[in-house]
Chains A and B, each alone.
Chain A
Amino acid sequence: MIPLHYYLILAAMLFMIGMTGFLVRRNFLTVLMSIELMLNAVNINFVAFAHYMDSMTGRIYVFFIMTVAAAEAAIGLAILISAYRNTKTTFVDEMNSLKG
């Protein structure tokens, strides 16, 4: 039987990799992928707790998180396409036309 802590530490590592990638990368596509990594880390936490607490609620929550992740990816990529059409770049630090 694998202890619950192992799953939580794995999820924490995955979340921190995703967060660091979100903060440091310049490419908008890789930023979106980092968000998916963070959502996956949260999913691992939910399922691990649901398994060890004999509950179904955590698994249902993962189901809803996947829905939101799909919606977020679709909207994010649509925003990227419409921003690329205007600025001809995919780098987040070059999209600064709203800066005063």
Chain B
Amino acid sequence: MILNILFFYLAAVTIISALFVVIKRNAVHSAIALLVTFVHVAGIFLLLNSEFLAAVQILVYAGAILVLIIFVIMYLNVTQRYRMFNRLKLIAFFVGVVLFAEVLYIITRTALKGQKGEFPIAKVMEMGNTEAIGKVLFTDYLFPFEIASLILLVAMIGAIVLAKKEI
């Protein structure tokens, strides 16, 4: 019962603050609304027994990406008086509503059954969420993990080269 109330609170705040991200004129207000969205998505991860991912969500999204975005907002000094939407707005709104209706139809009509994995909730709770993720990450997904570090290296070099004044 309390979990249901918690889920509906988290879902409602996530959706409303996501709407504010899109409809706010001031970019700083959008960024603050985005922060609220990230924190509540982390709460949804907690409801789904993923404590490690909730921590990483707050660290990486709210801590790194959002600070970077706000830093660029301050750096660029965006003007406040401008047209918010381009001329696609009616078409895009229509496409969004139709696509959402389609996805809703598919979700509610499908049984969503599948083969069960090897990590039931009781086992994960016994061994700890972080340990379970680490065990899978460093055995089955070791190669993608190394590739991810390479992606971060390339992104770092690329960002430095792109933002430099003269190459």
The distance in angstroms between the C-alpha atoms of A47 and B89, with both chains bound, is 32
Residue contact A33 to B53, C-beta cutoff 8 Å: no
A64: chain B residues at CB < 8 Å are 144, 148
Interface of B is mostly: helix
A residues in contact with B31, CB < 8 Å: 29, 33
Selected from B27, B38, B72, the residue in CB contact (under 8 A) with A77 is: B72
The contact of B133 among A24, A59, A84, by CB within 8 Å, is A59
Complex alpha-carbon distance, A4 and B137, angstroms: 25
Contact status B112-A71, CB under 8 Å: no
Contact B112 A5 (CB under 8 A): yes
**Are A78 and B86 touching (Cβ within 8 A)?**
no
Given known A40-B38, A68-B151, contact A81–B22 (CB-CB < 8 A) = no
Complex CA–CA separation, A12 to B95 (angstroms): 14
Contact A27 B78 (CB under 8 A): yes
Determine the chain B residues whose CB is within 8 A of the CB of A77 once the complex forms: 68-69, 72, 159
**B112, closest chain A residue (CB):** A4
Chain B residues positioned under 8 Å from A37 (CB to CB): 18, 21, 34, 37
- Flag if B48 contacts A51 (CB, 8 Å): yes
Q: Residues of B contacting A50 with CB < 8 Å?
A: 48, 50, 117
Give the B interface residue count (CB, 8 A).
Answer: 84
Residues of A close to B9: CB separation below 8 A: none
Query: B residues within 8 Å of A by Cβ?
Result: 3-4, 7, 11, 14-15, 18-19, 21-22, 27, 30-31, 34, 37-38, 41, 44-45, 47-50, 52-53, 56-57, 60-61, 64-65, 68-69, 72-73, 75-76, 78, 82-86, 88-89, 92-93, 95-97, 99-100, 103-104, 107-108, 112, 114-121, 124, 132-133, 136-137, 141, 144, 148, 151-152, 154-156, 158-160, 162-163, 165
